[in-house]
Amino acid sequence: MSHRSRGSRVRQHLHCDSCYSRRCRARVEPSASCALVPCRLLCGAVFHLCKEEDHLLLCPNVRVPCLNAEYGCPVQLPRSSQAAHLQVCPASVVCCSMEWLRWPVDDTNPNNFNAMQDNMMKERETHGEALDVAMALVDQSDLYARLKMKPLYPELMEEEEDIKEESREEIAVGGVQDQNPSEDLPVSSMAENHAAEETAQSVTQPPVINMEKYNLFEMMFSMERGACAVAQENLENPKQKQKLAVEGSSQKAPEQEQQDTTSPRSCPPPDTSKTGLAPWQEGVLERLGQELTPQEYNMYVVHHGRMLLAFGQIEACTSREKDFVYGSLEPIAVQTLRSFKVPVSYRYKRRVHLNETAARVQTEHQSVDTSDLGASEEDWFVDEDEATLLGYAEMAVMGHKISETKGADGLYVDLGTQTHSFRTAPFKQRTTLAEVMADRPQKLLLQLQAETVNSRNNRASCAFTFLCGHTFHRREFATHFRNVHSDIQMCLSEWFEQQCPLAYLGCTYRQRRFHPSTQKATVTYNQQLRCFNLRPDVLPSLDGKAGAGEDRLSSLPYEVLCHMASFLDSQSLSQLALVSRLMRQVCSSLLQDRGMVTLRWERTSSSHGRAKWKSKPVWEFSHLFSAVDSWNMADMPPISAHLKVCPFYQKTEQKERVALPCISEKQQKSLNGQSLLNHFTGQRGQQ
C-alpha cells in the first residue's frame, strides 16, 4: 500500500480506510466514503474507488515484466503467470559446475600409456582423434593458459623497469592514467546481424588527468588551507592584532616556517607559528577551544589527530617528555636470542647398519663439476612444459615446491636447490606456459583418465581442476548432465570407447561401442566448442549437395526452412546460423522459443580514463544435442578380432620342454603310480 494514497484517504475518506466489505452500503459522501467499483481487468475484486491504485499493485491480471527482466527477458505477462513462465523463461539459465581432475603423465609407472599417446598424436590427422584424446588436448590448452612461470621460477624472470613505479607516482600526484583499456572482451550476439567484425587497433592516446583523484587530494588539504584563511582574517582584525601582540611579548620568537607552495592560496608572510590555527603551531588547541564550539573543536581533533600527535600537540597516553615524535627515530640494535636448548637427557644414539660393518671400498673427496659428467650443453636444457607440470603437480599433491626449505626440528633444517636451464629464459613477469609453448609441436602430457573424486587435495584450489562451464536453459540442464557427463564422459575409457588390450605397447586401435537407440549417429567431440555432439550417419545421396557446389537447401522457401529448422536441436541451430545470412535469419526466428538470453560483460573506458564494465543481453543457442534416453550396442566385431591383425601382438612358441621346479625323478615316479583306485584299495588292505 503506497504511503501517498493512504495519506490522502485518511484526510478524505475515513470510512474507506477501514472498510473491506464487498457489500458495503455506506452512503457516498465526499469527505467520508466513495462508491464501490469492480476491477477493470475483470479479476473479480470489488473495492472502493479510492483504493483502485493500490489494487493494481496486487491484481493478478495486470501485465508486469518477467522476474528475470534485469537479466534480459523481454516478456510482459499477467502477474498470475509469472511462476509458470519461469519454466520456459529464456533468461532462466544454469551454468554447469561439473569438475574433474586430470594429472600429468607418470613416467615412472611401467604400465603407462605414453607410447600409445605419442602414436595417437602422430596419427590423429589420418585416423581422426579419439574422444578421450580430444578432451585431454582441450584441458591441456586450458591448463597451459593459466599456469604462470613466475611462481616456480622467480630467479628466471626479467628485471622490471622503473616505468611502472613512475606511472604509479604520476597517478598519486596528478591522477594520470592511461585511457586506452588493455583488453576487450569479444561478444557474439545472435539477435544482432553484424556483416563484418571490427578489428581492434591499438592507438596511443595522450594521458588525461583523473579529476576524481585530484578532487580527493584537494579535499585532504582543504582543512589546512582553511586554517591559513582563518589566521589571515585574525591578523586583519585590529582587536585580534592587539591580543596577539600581548601574547607574542610573553613568548619566544619561533622559527619561520616555509610557505606552502602547493596550495593555491598560501599563508601570509607574518610569523604565525604560535598564533595560527595549523596543527603544527604551538598552542593551537588552546586557541581553538576559545574560538570554536565544542562540536567544531572535536571535528578538528578527529581530522588532524595524527598530525597533532606527531607534532606533540596531544599526548598518546604518556607525558610530554616521553611522547613519541616523528623525526627523532634512532636505530635499535638487533638482538638475537636462541631460546632452544638441547635437553640434558638427550643422547644421540647412532644406528649401525649392516652395510657399515661390511668391507667398504676406499673413497676420497674430490670436487666435481658439471663438465665432468660427460654431457653436452644441449643435454642441460629441459622442456618447459614437462618441468612446469611437474612443479605444479608437486605443489598440488605435497603442498610445497620442489626442494623447498623445510625445518625438521629445532636442530636440523633441510636445504635444497633446484636449477633449471631453459632455452627461452629469462621470462617476462606475466608469461604463461601457453605463450612459451606457442611455436612448439603439440604434445600430450596429461593422462587420458580423468578423476572426479580425489581426497588428496581441494579441487577448488588445485591447478589441475577443470570445469565444464557451459550455459544451458534450466529445462535442458538435466539432459546435458545425464547424456554428457554420466553416459559419455564418466564411462569413456574401456566402456563407451573400447581400446586394444595392447594399448600400453602403442596400439592406437579404438572402437565406439554405443550409439543412440532412436537413430544411427556417432558421438564426436568438437574442440572449438569444447562439447560433445551427435553426427548422424547420412547417406551420400542425401547430403543436400548437387553438382558444381550448388546448394539445394537454400533454394527452398523461407517458411519451409523455418519448419525444418524447428526439428533441430540447440547445438545444430547454433552451427546452422553460421552457414549463411539466410540460415542466420531462419535460426533467429526461433530464438524466442528455443534460445536463451545471457549477460555478456564488455570493458569500456570512461571520460576520465578509468576502465568500466558494462553488461548487455545476448541471445544465443546452447550446446545441447538431441536427448538420448537409451543407448544400443553397435554392430561391430569384438575386440578379439582385432588381436589377429594387431601389429603389437607377437606370439611366443615354446618347442623345448621345461622341467617343473622342485620335483625330482623319484617324486615323479611316485606321482605316476598313484591313482584313486590304488588309494582306496591300499587303505582297505591296511584295515
At 48-104, the pLDDT tens digits run 998 898 899 999 999 999 999 999 999 999 999 999 999 899 999 999 999 999 999
580 contact partners, CB below 8 Å, separation of at least 6: 554
Exposure letters 211-232 (e unless 16+ CB within 10 A, then b) = eebeeeeeeeeebbbebbebbb
**Distance of alpha carbon 539 from the chain centroid:** 44
Q: What pLDDT score was predicted for residue 403?
A: 80
Q: How confident is the model at residue 308 (pLDDT cuts 50, 70, 90)?
A: low
Alpha helices, H only, 105-256: 114-127, 131-146, 163-174, 211-220, 222-236, 238-249
More confident position, 31 or 516? 516
Q: Give the DSSP H or E segment for 615.
A: strand 611-620
More confident position, 431 or 652? 431
Percent of the chain's residues with pLDDT above 90: 26
Q: How confident is the model at residue 338 (pLDDT cuts 50, 70, 90)?
A: low
Which of 112-116, 284-288, 589-593 is predicted with the least confidence, judged by mean pLDDT?
A: 284-288
Can you tell me the mean pLDDT for 595-610? 86
Cell numbers representing residue 402 in the block: 620442489
More confident position, 250 or 83? 83
Can you tell me the mean pLDDT for 227-255? 57
pLDDT, tens digit (0-9, with 9 covering 90-100), for 146-165: 999 998 988 888 876 544 54
Percent of the chain's residues with pLDDT above 70: 61
Q: What pLDDT score was predicted for residue 673?
A: 60
User: CA-to-CA distance for 384 and 426, rounded, in angstroms?
Assistant: 12
> How many C-alpha atoms does 567 have within 13 Å on its Cβ side?
4
105 contact partners, CB below 8 Å, separation of at least 6: 112, 114, 117, 445, 446, 447
pLDDT surpassing 80 at residue 488: yes
Can you tell me the mean pLDDT for 628-652? 89
Can you tell me the mean pLDDT for 657-681? 65
More confident position, 364 or 99? 99
Average pLDDT taken over every residue of the chain: 75
- Whole-prediction pTM value? 0.63
Q: How confident is the model at residue 537 (pLDDT cuts 50, 70, 90)?
A: confident
Q: Which amino acid is located at 307 in the chain?
A: M
Q: What pLDDT score was predicted for residue 15?
A: 87
Alpha helices, H only, 283-375: 284-291, 294-303, 305-310, 354-357
More confident position, 544 or 150? 150
Give the CA radius of gyration of the chain: 42
Contact 615, 601 (CB under 8 A): yes
Which of 99-113, 136-150, 314-328, 500-514 is predicted with the least confidence, judged by mean pLDDT?
A: 314-328
**3-state class of 176 per DSSP?**
strand
Which of 144-148, 307-311, 532-536 is predicted with the least confidence, judged by mean pLDDT?
A: 307-311
pLDDT surpassing 60 at residue 251: no
Q: Count the helices and strands in the chain (H runs, E runs).
A: 24, 20
User: CA-to-CA distance for 395 and 402, rounded, in angstroms?
Assistant: 8
Cell numbers representing residue 57 in the block: 499493485
Q: What pLDDT score was predicted for residue 399?
A: 80
C-beta contacts of 70-79 below 8 A and 24+ residues apart: 71/597, 71/598, 71/599, 71/617, 72/597, 72/598, 72/599, 72/617, 72/618, 73/597
Q: What pLDDT score was predicted for residue 17?
A: 85
